[in-house]
Amino acid sequence: MWNIAGRTFLRSASGRTKWGNCMKKSCCICEKETLTKNEIGLTKKLLDKNAKRFYCIDCLAMYLEVDPEILLSKIEEFKEQGCTLF
């Protein structure tokens, strides 16, 4: 369970939920649909905590012009800081 822009969403039992168009959790560049919590968390952390468009690791790395491995190590760093987005 986590909170997005004041609204609370519950993870479905199947682990996959259709959120409707505006909150669809798929990469807005390559349209990969199975974004991980890390990818969603990273988009929020690095771009906008109220983000409605999300990026997979590869597209986010391209967008930010960094190496995907840097983003993966950032995720670990944020986790160690106890960030609730991951």
Give the sign of the dihedral formed by CA 35, CA 10, CA 52, CA 25.
positive
Q: Select the residue interacting with Zn ion from 35, 42, 56, 71 (CB under 5 A).
A: 56
Q: Mask of contacts with Zn ion, 11-50, x by CB under 5 A?
A: ----------------x-xx-x------------------
- Exactly one of 35, 42, 59, 71 binds Zn ion (CB under 5 A); which one? 59
| Token pair recorded at residue 82 | 């106890």
Nearer to Zn ion, 31 or 76 (CB): 31
In degrees to the nearest 10, what's the CA dihedral of 69, 37, 64, 31?
Answer: 110
Q: Where does 14-84 have alpha helices with state H?
A: 37-46, 57-64, 68-80
Nearer to Zn ion, 56 or 75 (CB): 56
